[in-house]
């Protein structure tokens, strides 16, 4: 049978199909390798029609139960079943088609419209193992734990027009403090979204050429004042760390600067060495005069 030509879930690019196979959870991937041990790392485990092993198993179960009958009495093929599945996946949630006067069909919102949803999708870089290329057919988001896969698919499709091929989520919980509380900022849900069209994340600073990296660092310093902010943070941390010392008092920011601190340490070290040289000279002179040299009480 000829594969479906629509660029939805059924006929995604070959690279995207391979990326979907490689990003499968490890337990699922090992279970599939037992059934197909000859599958290589650069190959997709989808059928010629574009069905993943999970979708193909669902198709076989529905086919055995007789739930895939067409109006003419024939059984739906894999392509036809996948078309139905795609139409359901790509629908806009909360909207239905109703007939109005004149026989026209218009979309109607079932529930209340929501504008500017109070959720944040933070786009981060994909996890890339060492020695492997960056996968442009995946996008990784950090979202709130209350957001579901259906919300992710609807949000990306309705707001940005992005079609997704798969969504996998996992929760990250912050470490528990001694008092039993947790840090809400460090608790989030990670969503790995498969893309039909590739998305290339901006190149990391450490991966840039030397000239391009220098230009980027100058831009960051001019725009965000990274170094001055870092220096201010160090001064604040120094002030906090020394505040508990006995006999400590704050001597303004000029004294607390790193250069002044090193200068004071060098001056004290030089004075100590001069004192040692003076005592040593006195001891040598006394021995030259035949006097008995006693140990210094210091």
Mean pLDDT of all residues belonging to the chain: 80
Mean pLDDT of 81-104: 78
**8 Å CB contact between 78 and 47:** yes
Mean pLDDT of 233-247: 74
Q: Which residue has the higher pLDDT, 50 or 190?
A: 190
Q: Which residue, of 90, 106, 137, is where some domain finishes?
A: 90
Residue 52, C-beta contacts closer than 8 angstroms, at least 6 positions apart: 20, 45, 46
Residue 225: inside a domain: no
**According to the model, what pLDDT value does residue 153 have?**
87
Q: Which residue, of 177, 201, 225, is where some domain finishes?
A: 201
pLDDT digits 0-9 by tens, 99-128: 887 778 887 877 666 666 788 899 999 888
Residue 208: inside a domain: no
243 membership: H or E segment, kind and range: none
Please, how many CA atoms are within 13 Å of residue 253, restricted to the half-sphere of its CB? 7
* Lowest mean pLDDT segment, chosen from 19-28, 57-66, 250-259: 250-259
* Lowest mean pLDDT segment, chosen from 49-63, 87-101, 216-230, 243-257: 243-257
Strongest mean pLDDT among 128-142, 246-260, 284-298: 128-142
Residue 80 and residue 129 in one domain: no
Residue 133: inside a domain: yes
**According to the model, what pLDDT value does residue 169 have?**
92
The CA distance from 295 to 298, in Å, is: 9
Residue 272: inside a domain: yes
- Structural domain span for residue 149: 122-201
Residue 142: inside a domain: yes
Exposure letters 231-249 (e unless 16+ CB within 10 A, then b): eeeeeeeeeeeeeeeeeee
Mean pLDDT of 49-76: 86
Residue 4: inside a domain: no
**8 Å CB contact between 147 and 170:** no
Tell me the three-class secondary structure of 154-216, residue by residue: HHHHHHHCCCEEEEEEEEECCCECCCCCECHHHCEEEEEEEECCCCCCCCCHHHCCHHHHHHH
Q: Which residue, of 166, 201, 236, is where some domain finishes?
A: 201
β-bridge mates for residue 164, sequence order: 195
| Helix 53-65, helix 78-89: angle, nearest 10 | 110
Q: How far is CA 235 from CA 8, 203, 239, in A?
A: 55, 32, 6
Three-class SS of residue 69? Answer: strand
The CA distance from 164 to 9, in Å, is: 8
Q: Please report, for the domain that includes residue 141, its CATH number.
A: 3.30.70.330
Residue 20 and residue 81 in one domain: yes
The CA distance from 134 to 127, in Å, is: 8
pLDDT range class, residue 243, cuts 50, 70, 90 = low
Residue 31: inside a domain: yes
**According to the model, what pLDDT value does residue 116 have?**
65
Count structural domains, the chain.
Answer: 3
**According to the model, what pLDDT value does residue 247 have?**
63
Residue 147: inside a domain: yes
Mean pLDDT of 140-161: 88
**According to the model, what pLDDT value does residue 269 have?**
92
pLDDT digits 0-9 by tens, 161-176: 888 888 999 998 888 8
**According to the model, what pLDDT value does residue 248 have?**
63
**According to the model, what pLDDT value does residue 235 have?**
82
Mean pLDDT of 169-193: 84
pLDDT at 10 exceeding the cut of 50: no
Mean pLDDT of 29-45: 85
């Amino acid at each position: 049978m000829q594969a479906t030509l629509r660029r939805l879930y059924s006929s995604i690019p070959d690279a995207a199909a391979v990326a979907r196979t490689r990003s499968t959870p490890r337990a699922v991937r090992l279970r599939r390798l037992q059934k197909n041990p000859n599958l290589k790392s650069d190959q997709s485990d989808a059928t010629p029609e574009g069905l993943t092993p999970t979708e193909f198993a669902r198709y076989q179960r529905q086919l055995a139960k007789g739930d895939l009958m067409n109006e003419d009495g024939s059984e739906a093929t894999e392509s036809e079943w996948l078309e139905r599945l795609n139409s359901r996946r790509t629908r806009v949630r909360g909207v239905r088609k109703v007939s109005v006067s004149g026989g026209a069909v218009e979309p109607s919102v079932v529930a209340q419209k929501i504008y500017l949803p109070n959720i944040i999708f933070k786009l981060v870089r994909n996890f890339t193992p060492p020695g492997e290329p960056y996968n442009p057919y995946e996008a990784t988001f950090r979202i709130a734990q209350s957001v579901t896969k259906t919300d992710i698919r609807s949000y990306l499709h309705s707001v940005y027009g992005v079609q997704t091929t798969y969504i996998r989520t996992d929760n990250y919980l912050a470490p528990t403090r001694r008092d039993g509380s947790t840090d809400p900022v460090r608790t989030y849900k990670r969503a790995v979204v498969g893309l039909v069209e590739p998305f290339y994340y901006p190149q990391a600073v450490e991966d840039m050429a030397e000239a391009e990296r220098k230009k980027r660092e100058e831009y960051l310093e001019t725009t965000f004042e990274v170094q001055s902010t870092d220096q201010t943070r160090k001064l604040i941390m120094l002030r906090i760390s020394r505040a508990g010392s006995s006999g400590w008092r704050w001597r303004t920011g000029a004294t607390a600067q790193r250069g002044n601190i090193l200068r004071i340490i060098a001056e004290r070290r030089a004075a100590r060495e001069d004192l040692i040289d003076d005592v040593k000279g006195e001891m040598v002179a006394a021995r030259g005069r035949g006097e008995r040299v006693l140990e210094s009480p210091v």
